[in-house]
Amino acid sequence: MRKGLRRPRCAGASALLNLIFAAGLLAFPVALFAQSAPAQPAATKPPTAQPSVPQSPDARTPTPGAPSAMHKYERAADLIPDTAVGALTLEKAGARLAQFRRHPFYQSILDSEIYRLLQADAGFNQAKFGVFGFSAAAGVDTWEMFETLLGDNLTIALEPGESGKPVAWAVCVTDKPEVAAKLAAALNPMAGLMKDGKPDETRSREVEGVRGYQINADAYYAVFDNVIAITNRAEALERTIRMRNASSGRLSDMDRFKQARSRTTPDALAWGYVNVDGLRQRFKDRWIPEKIPNGFVSMVFGGIIESARDADTASADLSLGRDGLSVNVFLHGKSPLPDSHKAFFVPAKDAADWSSLSLPRALARVSLRRDFHELWTQRDKLVSAKGLSELSEFAGNVSNLLGQMDFGDDFLAQTGCDLQFLSNLQTFEPGRAPMPQFPAFGMILPLTDVKQFGQRLESATMMAFSFISMQAAQNDKNALLVDVDSYKGCKLICAKYPDAPADASPLPQRYNFAPTAAIVKDHFVLGSTPQFIKDVIDAAENLPSSAASGAARAGSYANVKADELTAILKANLEPLVAKKMLEENKTKSQAESEWNLLLKLLSSTEGLAISIDRAEEGLKATARLALKPGAIPQ
């Protein structure tokens, strides 16, 4: 705690501390499930006698001798200074972990294939046995140790450092202070912090009756009252100790911190806060510029970027129910969105639209609702000079491909606001699948006047395919054969590679692709295969009578389905295993085990959906991982 403290003599001290927290991180995802699990009555057992562990005189008491009155804190943020610009708080994680281990789901995990695969991992076993050894030395149950470390209220906070390295706090308010004292009493001699049965004065310091310890050059800790405090700076730990009786200057006193909490889910498992204004002032020379240098990023995500650039605070929360895991993020804006950026947030239509389109074997969807033509006319206000040059070059290339059709005045002026990118799994004849296999994908763009513009767009697409094929032939690459087909009254403009030899198996990678375009109703559809276009045509015949609701109607939306993702990964498992062996120097067994673990985890989920949209006074983003029924038992 004082300047000039020498490095720890115990080389394993840092490893031991990291081991405890690594194991805690392994246990924490398991504790998530307890949020939605009903409590089970604990079996009544007689108290288990614990080995006697000598307590260091400073483990919990301010001075050697008889303990003084303990002050009980409720919020870790009471012991973190208001100069912290970001904080993550876990609520009642220790109690949820205790509840979880009494639930039948815990035993089902121990009996699961996922746990069996984890046990085959050397790192997992090393952490497990290390934690068991440490808890035994402390004379506490391993679960009780985790419950103590997670505590009733745990906050991890960051403050920008003068040298560029942030100052970090992890402050835990625990309902098991006696266990915290045992853990400290066990850690101190193991880490070489005791000398002749007393605290080593070169590795510790007393501040206002509380002794803090230096684990290594980047880890300092103290246990006092019902608090465990860990920091990466000696002065940061001292500030926390001196805040025990403070009534101001605390993170919990800040109005922004309180407001951020009010915007999060009340019963969230975890919630976060960021003082964006503080970051802006600290990094004003490196803050988000008013005009984005990347033209493409600005035209697609400029509204989201502007919302982040102008925000004063950000808040987030994590919640778990029986049907899934949700993360909500809110950026609170200081001022209304500029007129130049309003085209990024176009109101959704009330009528039925193609957001409800459902393809067979659907893998993923990305939808962007923007007034792209208006954004193109406003590009001087959105994009830097470098970005404008990139956009001009792109527009020129597209115009050339489309037979001198002007990208802005002709193409974008005739398009609607709902741009979609869809993907679904391909089907191949037995023995005729390429390797690796890719899903089909395509773009769907609404047209404002299909009668006037549709034919021009078909002709331009035919010219573009022919031009691409000619360029490939000139560069000694495989050229495309351009043809016209029809399906259910729709004209299909197709480009495909010549048929592969009958005995070729697997087929080369290029046979995943056969670019095809069509006008389907009042939409222009460009896909990677003819079958993708046909799937869109079939689905468009049966659009629901009402528009999609909820997250799918957000200004920006993306989802991926787990079963289809699992299927495409399994189809490519052989090259994926080989790639992991080559790049990570794994054995075949190790590589297969890691991929099997991921596939097993995916099998418990239905998919992931992300939505982002403008909300009152800011921007809201939600990510939801849906779980399959029964993934968390009743």
Identify the DSSP state of 201.
T
Is residue 541 helix, strand or coil? coil
**What token pair was written down for 199?**
């605290």
> Residues 491, 458: contact at Cβ < 8 Å?
yes
Bridge partners, residue 422, by sequence:
365, 442
Please tell me the predicted confidence (pLDDT) of residue 549: 58
Please tell me the predicted confidence (pLDDT) of residue 532: 97
Closest C-alpha among 282, 364, 372 to residue 86: 282
Write out pLDDT tens, residues 550-563.
Answer: 667 889 999 999 99
Write out pLDDT tens, residues 400-435.
Answer: 877 778 888 888 998 999 999 999 999 998 888 999
Give dist(CA 223, CA 212) in Å, integer: 8
Q: Is 168 left (phi over 0), alpha (psi -120 to 50) or beta?
A: beta
pTM score, whole prediction: 0.82
> Residues 23, 145: contact at Cβ < 8 Å?
no
Report the DSSP pairing between strands 440-446 and 523-527: antiparallel
**CA angle 416–421–422, rounded 5-degree value:** 130
Q: Can you say how many angstroms the Cα of residue 630 is from the centroid of all Cα atoms in its chain?
A: 24
Burial level of 384, CB count in 10 A (0-12/13-18/19+)? Answer: middle
**What token pair was written down for 355?**
């957001």
Write out pLDDT tens, residues 65-102.
Answer: 333 457 889 999 999 999 999 999 999 999 888 888 88
Residues of the chain with pLDDT under 50: 2-68
Please tell me the predicted confidence (pLDDT) of residue 121: 79
Burial level of 582, CB count in 10 A (0-12/13-18/19+)? Answer: exposed
Write out pLDDT tens, residues 458-484.
Answer: 998 999 899 899 988 888 888 999 999
Please tell me the predicted confidence (pLDDT) of residue 141: 92
Q: Amino acid letter at 206?
A: E
Please tell me the predicted confidence (pLDDT) of residue 48: 35
Give dist(CA 387, CA 398) in Å, integer: 17
Please tell me the predicted confidence (pLDDT) of residue 245: 84
Give dist(CA 150, CA 228) in Å, integer: 10
Please tell me the predicted confidence (pLDDT) of residue 9: 39
**What token pair was written down for 192?**
């070489």
Question: Residue ranges of the alpha helices (H) in 102-194?
Answer: 104-110, 113-119, 122-138, 142-150, 177-190
Give dist(CA 193, CA 211) in Å, integer: 12
Give dist(CA 290, CA 302) in Å, integer: 10
